[in-house]
């Protein structure tokens, strides 16, 4: 078996192993801004969800077995090292965690933001499809797990075009097979469990055809017996709500929960005796892990979990609220965050090296500021300033670069301090308490470790949730030509551990 460079292996399989997105690269910033602008303008006039009415109005049934394993991962398609590390783990026949054998999911749920920085056919291929296909190549001897996906805001940046082609046309992605025909879906699971994936286009109400889809399913497939729902969506609006209070995303979720899960109306507007209960809500979008729990008077627990550690850069956890007291389904209390608050706070200070981590943006700003300064500030003052900084008079090529370097370093430190200050202030100043400020200071760091995903074990009696972490991704690979299963293998250990003790949702 001949070993060769993993990048050649990727090209042989038709994709390019991409580096992680450099969000603070000026070219990247400009491209992203244009895509976001175009998508928000055209998204306002043409909602792709409205046209997805060809797919059947029926749920997908996965209740023929007594037990079912489901993997949940979100925010996947960024740099090759992180995305492939996670895809590789998902593809393994089993993972042994804390001595317990956890088999590969019969179903893989992708929780949004399958691709970065913005959706396009090529980006999906290079950053998502290629790595996932390589990690789990098509194999007739291994039963194909199903793959379902909800779109996140990054999937929406091309108006959902690429997402619809990739996930809703019954294609295969490696050995995973897709079967949803819309950007949302309902799965009937063993026992009285359902899993619903909804498409919440950013800054938009849930569309009529989608509401009709879930309404019809509830009317036709839910009987008198109490059913329990796992809801997947691409936005942890409950956390936004607590942090910002004014939040339309949570209002939309609350509307859906009340009207389409808890109190289903019939065509005449009367409430139908359907008994659906939301027990577990899963979201990505924020690239960390957080779990919140609420226990009602009968001792029944409900959970809300953010698990967005599938590939993209890490988000902080030290700003997450300890409790969310006034959600529609009760007060929720924080159980666990990953990485820890202390580690998250430590990482924040690495922004002091902003200039070194994000050299092009800092250099651009240094140049933009330096030119007018050089023209406007009298030469005597500049010479004096230079002497204060122990730099020689500034009239040679060498001193030009020295001046620019000093400007670069100073601006890097200023930006780094500003990001740290905004992050810290956002804990206390309501105006700054939005996700943008919290996460901005981590997008500059581009930390691609501290990954996480969920493995769920579903039986008629209960669901057990295993929250899993990978502290350190693999960055060195071996590629082999192997006819049976061409694979790229990690050369560094990919250790999977529990983030917190597995927790159970017992059926009523
Ligand atoms: Fe994301």
**CATH code of the domain containing 277:** 3.60.21.10
Nearest in space to 440 (alpha carbons), one of 455, 456, 420: 420
Nearest in space to 231 (alpha carbons), one of 189, 270, 173: 189
Pair (139, 14) in one structural domain = yes
How many other β-carbons are positioned within 10 Å of the β-carbon of residue 141? 7
Encode pLDDT of 206-221 as tens digits: 888 899 999 888 888 8
Distance 260 CA to ligand 1 centre (A): 27
Of 105-109, 159-163, 164-168, 481-485, the least confident: 481-485
Give the bridge partners for 102, in sequence order: 95
Average of per-residue pLDDT across 493-505: 95
Strands 503-506 and 488-490 turn out to be unpaired
Residue with tokens 């037990």: 67
Distance 110 CA to ligand 1 centre (A): 12
Distance 87 CA to ligand 1 centre (A): 16
Distance 312 CA to ligand 1 centre (A): 6
Distance 286 CA to ligand 1 centre (A): 6
Strand order across the beta sheet in which 477-480 lies: 3-4, 477-480, 488-490
Pair (215, 117) in one structural domain = yes
Residue 344 in any domain: the answer is no
Give the model's pLDDT for residue 420. 83
Nearest in space to 150 (alpha carbons), one of 227, 230, 208: 230
Pair (325, 414) in one structural domain = no
Distance 131 CA to ligand 1 centre (A): 18
Distance 437 CA to ligand 1 centre (A): 15
Domain boundary residue, one of 414, 437, 460: 437
Q: How far apart are CA 30 and CA 442, in angstroms?
A: 19
Domain boundary residue, one of 390, 416, 437: 437
Pair (235, 95) in one structural domain = yes
Distance 456 CA to ligand 1 centre (A): 22
Pair (482, 390) in one structural domain = no
How many other β-carbons are positioned within 10 Å of the β-carbon of residue 202? 19
Q: How far apart are CA 239 and CA 284, in angstroms?
A: 12
Average of per-residue pLDDT across 364-376: 73
Strand order across the beta sheet in which 60-61 lies: 60-61, 185-188, 193-197, 227-233, 276-283, 301-307, 289-295, 330-338, 323-327
**Distance of alpha carbon 463 from the chain centroid:** 23
Residue 444 in any domain: the answer is no
pLDDT band at 376, cuts 50/70/90? Answer: low
Angle between helices 341-348 and 435-443 in degrees, nearest 10: 70
Distance 169 CA to ligand 1 centre (A): 24
Q: How far apart are CA 232 and CA 220, in angstroms?
A: 21
Distance 431 CA to ligand 1 centre (A): 23
Nearest in space to 337 (alpha carbons), one of 298, 379, 361, 306: 306
Distance 149 CA to ligand 1 centre (A): 14
The boundaries of the domain holding residue 39 are 3-339+450-506
Pair (386, 417) in one structural domain = yes
Residue 97 in any domain: the answer is yes
Residue 237 in any domain: the answer is yes
Residue 108 in any domain: the answer is yes
Encode pLDDT of 237-288 as tens digits: 898 887 765 567 888 888 898 888 887 766 555 666 567 889 999 999 999 9
Distance 185 CA to ligand 1 centre (A): 21
Pair (193, 159) in one structural domain = yes
Cα–Cα distances (Å) from 247 to 53, 190, 252, 325, 457, in that order, read: 29, 35, 9, 15, 33
Dihedral Cα 298, 301, 304, 310, nearest 10 deg: -170
Q: Are 415 and 362 in contact (CB under 8 A)?
A: yes
Domain boundary residue, one of 391, 416, 437: 437
Distance 399 CA to ligand 1 centre (A): 43
Distance 455 CA to ligand 1 centre (A): 20
Give the model's pLDDT for residue 51. 65
Q: What is the DSSP letter of 240?
A: H
Pair (258, 117) in one structural domain = yes
- Tell me how long the chain is: 508
Pair (497, 374) in one structural domain = no
**Distance of alpha carbon 422 from the chain centroid:** 23
Distance 391 CA to ligand 1 centre (A): 44
Alpha-helical (H) ranges within 317-389 are 341-348, 354-357, 359-376, 379-388
Secondary structure of residue 452 in the 3-state scheme: strand
Distance 480 CA to ligand 1 centre (A): 32
Give the whole-number percent of the chain exceeding pLDDT 70: 84
Q: What total number of domains does the chain contain?
A: 2
Residue 443 in any domain: the answer is no
pLDDT band at 377, cuts 50/70/90? Answer: low
Distance 368 CA to ligand 1 centre (A): 31
Q: How far apart are CA 458 and CA 508, in angstroms?
A: 14
Encode pLDDT of 120-156 as tens digits: 999 999 999 999 999 999 988 999 999 999 999 999 9
- Tell me the HSE value of 471 on the side-chain side, using a 13 A CA sphere: 7
Distance 464 CA to ligand 1 centre (A): 25
Residue 346 in any domain: the answer is no
Pair (430, 328) in one structural domain = no
- Decide if pLDDT at 24 tops 80: yes
Q: Are 163 and 52 in contact (CB under 8 A)?
A: no
Distance 237 CA to ligand 1 centre (A): 14
Give the model's pLDDT for residue 243. 74
Distance 267 CA to ligand 1 centre (A): 38
**pTM (2 decimals)?**
0.90
Strands 497-498 and 451-458 turn out to be unpaired
Angle between helices 397-425 and 435-443 in degrees, nearest 10: 140
Distance 17 CA to ligand 1 centre (A): 19
Residue 130 in any domain: the answer is yes
- 366-389: string of b/e by CB count within 10 Å (b at 16+)? beeebeeeeeeeeeeebeeebeee
Distance 268 CA to ligand 1 centre (A): 40
Pair (298, 429) in one structural domain = no
- Tell me the HSE value of 197 on the side-chain side, using a 13 A CA sphere: 24
Give the model's pLDDT for residue 34. 81
**Distance of alpha carbon 160 from the chain centroid:** 16
Pair (74, 36) in one structural domain = yes
């Amino acid at each position: 078996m001949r070993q060769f460079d993993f990048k050649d292996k990727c090209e042989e399989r038709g994709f390019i192993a991409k580096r992680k997105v450099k969000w603070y690269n000026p070219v990247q910033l400009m491209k992203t801004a244009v895509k976001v602008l175009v998508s928000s303008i055209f998204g306002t006039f043409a909602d792709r969800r409205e046209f997805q009415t060809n797919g059947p109005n029926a749920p997908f049934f996965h209740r023929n077995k007594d037990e079912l394993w489901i993997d949940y991962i979100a925010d996947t398609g960024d740099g090759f090292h992180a995305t492939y590390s996670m895809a590789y783990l998902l593809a393994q026949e089993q993972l042994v965690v804390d001595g317990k054998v956890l088999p590969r999911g019969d179903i893989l749920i992708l929780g949004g933001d399958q691709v970065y920085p913005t959706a396009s056919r090529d980006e999906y291929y290079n950053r998502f499809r290629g790595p996932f296909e390589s990690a789990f190549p098509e194999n007739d001897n291994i039963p194909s797990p199903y793959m379902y996906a909800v779109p996140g805001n990054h999937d929406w940046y091309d108006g959902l075009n690429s997402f619809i082609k990739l996930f809703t046309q019954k294609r295969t992605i490696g050995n995973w097979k897709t079967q949803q025909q819309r950007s949302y879906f309902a799965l009937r699971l063993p026992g009285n469990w359902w899993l619903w994936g909804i498409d919440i286009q950013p800054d938009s109400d849930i569309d009529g055809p989608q509401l009709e889809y879930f309404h019809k399913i509830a009317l036709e497939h839910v009987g008198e017996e109490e059913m329990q729902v796992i809801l997947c969506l691409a936005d942890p609006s409950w956390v936004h709500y607590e942090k910002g209070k004014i939040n339309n995303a949570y209002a939309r979720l609350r509307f859906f929960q009340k009207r389409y899960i808890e109190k289903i109306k019939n065509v005449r507007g009367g409430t139908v005796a359907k008994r659906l209960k939301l027990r577990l809500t899963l979201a990505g979008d924020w690239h960390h892990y957080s779990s919140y729990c609420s226990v009602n008077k009968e001792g029944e627990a409900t959970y809300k979990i953010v698990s967005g550690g599938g590939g993209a850069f890490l988000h902080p956890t030290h700003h997450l609220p300890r409790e969310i007291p006034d959600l529609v389904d009760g007060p929720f209390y924080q159980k666990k965050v990953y990485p820890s608050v202390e580690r998250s706070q430590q990482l924040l200070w690495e922004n002091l090296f902003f200039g070194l981590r994000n050299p092009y943006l800092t250099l651009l700003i240094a140049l933009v500021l330096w030119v007018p300064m050089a023209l406007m500030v009298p030469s005597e003052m500049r010479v004096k300033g230079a002497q204060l900084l122990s730099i020689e008079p500034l009239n040679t090529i060498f001193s030009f670069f020295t001046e620019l370097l000093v400007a670069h370093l100073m601006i890097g430190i200023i930006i780094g301090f500003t990001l740290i200050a905004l992050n810290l202030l956002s804990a206390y100043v309501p105006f700054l308490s939005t996700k943008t400020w919290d996460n901005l200071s981590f997008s500059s760091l581009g930390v691609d470790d501290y990954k996480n995903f969920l493995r769920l074990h579903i039986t008629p009696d209960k669901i057990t949730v295993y929250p899993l972490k990978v502290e350190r991704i693999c960055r060195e690979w071996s590629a082999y030509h192997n006819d049976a299963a061409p694979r790229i293998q990690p050369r560094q250990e990919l250790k999977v551990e529990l983030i917190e003790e597995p927790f159970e949702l017992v059926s009523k």
